[in-house]
Structure 1
Amino acid sequence: MSTIVLVGGSFLGAWAWERVTPALVEAGHDVVPLTLTGFGDRAHLATPETALSTHVTDITAAIETADLRDVVLVLHSYAGVPGTVAATRVDARIARIVYVAAALPTPGKSVFDTSPPQMEQMMRQLADAQGDGWRVPVMSDEILDTFYGEHGLGAEDRAWLRARAVGHPIATLREPVPSDLSLLERIDRTYVVCTGDPGEPPVADDTPGFDVVALESGHWPMITAPVSLAGLIDRMASRR
């Protein structure tokens, strides 16, 4: 049995793992889905100052306050960046990080710094046109279909996601990652490549420090392939 902490990516709260959690609990794990500031039931706490460091603190505080140990930390998409920084702050409590189609941090650089040049401009325009200027609105069908490859989100899945998804605070994408992440080398890491994602994943089979596995799914496997994702997380947890 493991303690599994689940952190979803942009727009998502703990609710996004509802299709995954039952299988992990049935397998005997203690499962702790987290909601970062500005999402889910914490959407009302978002401000223009909600930044990457806010989300780092959310994750470290949740792990330390509950005195969680031997944690399998599952990070999806955007959560790979604050989750990695958080793991270096509580490294003695982390048994393994499982990155699911996740962004990986670059020391000293922000998410925008390591994204295609047009990404910041596009998100800023979306925030100005459809949001309140400091939050990137939940993705339209056009953006999903243009940028997320074979995402697998049908009409019902999109409706389910958008019923509770909320905009992403843009300041989280502008704040640089700390320059020293060396403690990460102490932690076992698995990267889950979702085969429907476009482009090359940020790690390869021979990337030092990582095990790499493939999952037949789009970018949101907790929605479109929850049973397969739960089984994979269960197997990774048994390897700690």
Structure 2
Amino acid sequence: MTAFVLVSGTFTGDWVWQEVAARLRESGAEVHPVTLTGMGDRRHLAGPDTDLETHVDDVVRLIDEVAAPQVVIVGHDYGIHPVLGAAGRRPARIARVVHLDVGIPQNGEPAARLVSDQAVRERLAGPADSDDEWRIQPPAADGWQRWGSTAGVPEDALTLLSDRAAPQPRATLTQPLELSAAASGLPSTGILCTANGSSIAVVQAMVGLGDPHLKALTDPRVTFFELATGHWPMLSAPGELAEVLLQAAAGEGHRLKAEASGEQPPHLRPFLLDIPEQHRERVGRLDLHLPDAEGPRPAVVFVHGGPVPAEMRPTPRDWPGFVGYAQYVASLGAVGVTLDHRLHGFGDYERAAEDVTAAVDLVRADPRVDGERVALWFFSGGGPLSADWLASPPRWLRCVAATYPVLAPLPSWGLADTRFRPATAVRKAGRLPIVLTRVELEMPEIAVTVGEFLAAAEDCEAAVEIVDVPGGHHGFETIDHTDPARDAVTRAVRSVLGHLRS
């Protein structure tokens, strides 16, 4: 008989697991939901000294009370922090750690780093403003989306979530996690909720970038599942969640692919077109790919996606895909520009936007560039950076292009109320030409944002040209060396250059 320990996230208590626990017990499992100090019906026990360590102690005590020799311990949202802290103290009692729609905490990092609500995350980064700030109030009934997608949660369950929510002690989110090697080495399962913006495909792509923090995810003892729901699956899909938890306990699930020794990761494979080599000049954080032509030339600035780890080498401006695009436009008479901006995490969009603006200013000031004829081309997670330019296009901006872009922040990013929403900004773009390259096999969570963008563009009659890539994947330029993919790149490039020359 499998024994489960269920630890809920911010503002909630053991009550949130009620239906999941019932389903698990019906299958014959032993289930122990946890109510952490200060949460649920223990809210009266909270105080300024209630911190992460308090909650780790809560989980350890419960593990010690369970008769089963081992438990599958589940952490949702913030709950993964006390789960990992407790697992480090009782590793022999843990059969598997389940991360329920939550990132991977690192040793020494506080839970605040994974809070999706950016405003709260920024507030937690500073000192408490007053003695009353020792706890974080739960969101209003219409504000839960800032803490994760509420997709699929019935209205009565959402009302219950608001009615039973308890303030979260601030120190539980700001005290760093002490993550032991024993806890890090335990078998684990990630359950990803696709409506919240995470999926196995996204994680596989991040692993492919070579982030050393994610290398452990390719261990065969690590498995993954997806649920087609929002961030609160215990309320929106309790039956499906219970079934997946039973499968996880049995060691089932998808295993990520590790790159074979000596194999190039997808983003470092060759560009799909064979381009004549053009002169390339490095200036600070950007490279100019220069045409063999006299006089100031129009320019295309290619803005990479992300987040990309700060330690990633080579950096995006040296990736074959971006170099290929820049060399291609240079071979056709325009200046191609690749750059490195500092989008290293979802909280870095403002800094990355400043980097892009500085790069554009530098490009336009170069005497070899016609500063009145510039296009900006955004890729993947760089898509939100197009919002400023769409919302207020300068006269010299002749075209905005986007390839397999994210065009509205995903719910788990915590950027719902920021300016980085191209799907909103397009309503102010006027007749600015927009060239959108759309891949047929796009990740569903990204495809939703493209659909939102196109609906808004149609409503305001924005000048959008769509270039479709049949059979194309996200990052197709170095993955899909097919005639339709090559044709799509050629069409998109020539369309952008056409707008620069008109």
Q: Say whether the fold is shared (TM-score over 0.5).
A: yes
Name the structure 2 match of 1:183.
182
* 2:5 aligned counterpart, secondary structure: strand
CA distance in 1, matches of 2:120, 2:72: 31
**Does the Cα contact within 8 Å between 1:91 and 1:187 map onto a contact in 2?**
yes
More off after superposition, 226-235 vs 63-72: 63-72
2:99 matches 1:87: no
Corresponding residue of 1:58 = 58
Are 2:232 and 1:220 aligned?
A: yes
Instruction: Count residues in correspondence.
Output: 236
Deviation at 1:213, TM superposition (A): 1.4
Q: Call closer, same or farther: CA 1:160–1:124 in 2, change over 3 Å.
A: farther
Q: CA deviation at 1:148?
A: 2.5
Which has the greater radius of gyration? Answer: 2
Q: Which amino acid aligns with 1:120?
A: R
Listed as ranges, the gaps of 5+ residues in structure 1 are none
Q: Identity of counterpart residues, as a percentage?
A: 33
Structure 2 unmatched runs, 5+: 208-216, 253-502
1:10-30: CA deviation from partner (whole Å, max 9, x where unpaired): 111111111111110110101
Could you say what secondary structure the match of 2:195 adopts?
Answer: coil
Find the aligned partners of 1:162 and 1:27 in 2 and give their Cα distance: 30
Name the CA shift for 1:185/1:128 in 2 (closer, same or farther; >3 Å): closer
Deviates more, 1:37-46 or 1:111-120: 111-120
**C-alpha separation between the residues in 1 aligned to 2:21 and 2:114?**
32
TM-score (norm 1): 0.87
Q: Residues 239, 88 of structure 1: CA spacing in aligned structure 2 closer, same or farther, 3 A cutoff?
A: same
The letter for the 2-side match of 1:19 is: E
Tell me which residue corresponds to 1:120. Answer: 121
Structure 1 residue 181: deviation in Å?
1.9
Shift of residue 122, structure 1, vs aligned partner:
4.2
Q: Could you give the per-residue CA deviations for residues 99-123 of structure 1, whole angstroms, max 9, x where no partner exists?
A: 1112432111212356687543346
Q: Deviations over 1:95-148 (max 9, x none)?
A: 0111111243211121235668754334689x979x942211112244323452
Aligned partners of 2:192 and 2:198 also within 8 Å: no
Contact 1:111 1:173 in 2 (8 A): yes
Q: Do the aligned partners of residues 139 and 230 (structure 1) sit closer, same or farther apart at CA in structure 2, a change above 3 Å counting? A: same
| 3-state SS, counterpart of residue 196 of structure 1 | helix
Aligned to 2:143, the other structure's residue is in SS state helix
Secondary structure of 1:151's match?
A: coil
Q: Partner of 2:133: helix, strand, or coil?
A: coil
Distance 2:232 2:27 in 1: 22
Is the partner of 1:4 in helix, strand or coil? Answer: strand
Asked if residue 42 in structure 1 is aligned to residue 42 in structure 2, the reply is: yes
Rounded to whole Å, the distance in 2 between the matches of 1:37 and 1:233 is 25
Equivalent position SS for 1:133: helix
Distance 2:137 2:71 in 1: 32
- Partners of 2:240 and 2:67 lie apart in 1 by 29
> SS of the counterpart of 1:184?
helix
1:150 Cα deviation from its structure 2 partner: 5.2
Residue 208 of structure 1 corresponds to 218
Question: How many angstroms apart in 1 are the aligned matches of 2:77 and 2:114?
Answer: 14
| Residue identity matched to 1:216 | A
Partner Cα distance (1:186, 1:44) in 2: 36
User: Distance in 2 between the 1:162 and 1:128 partners?
Assistant: 25
CA 214–83 in structure 1, closer or farther in 2 if over 3 Å, else same: same
| Residue number in structure 1 paired with 2:245 | 233
Structure-2 separation of matches of 1:112 and 1:101: 16
CA distance in 2, matches of 1:26, 1:208: 33
- CA shift for structure 1 position 155: 2.5
Residue 158 of structure 1: CA displacement?
1.4
Q: Which amino acid aligns with 2:111?
A: V
Q: Deviations over 1:27-71 (max 9, x none)?
A: 010111110001112111100110011111110111113344210
What amino acid is aligned across from residue 229 of structure 1 in structure 2?
A: L
Alpha-carbon distance in 2 for matches of 1:211, 1:144: 29
Q: How many angstroms apart in 2 are the aligned matches of 1:114 and 1:25?
A: 31
- Per the alignment, residue 157 of structure 1 pairs with 157
Shift of 1:223: 0.5
- Per-residue CA deviation, residues 201-237 of structure 1 (Å, 9 max, x unaligned), is 8x82452343121111110100110000001011112
Q: In structure 2, give the amino acid aligned to 1:121.
A: E
1:18 partner SS: helix
Q: Indicate the RMSD between aligned Cα atoms, in angstroms.
A: 2.7
SS in 2 for 1:139: coil
Over 3 Å counting, the alpha-carbon distance change for 1:235 and 1:175 in structure 2 is same
Greater CA deviation, 2-11 or 230-239? 230-239
Letter in 2 for 1:170: R
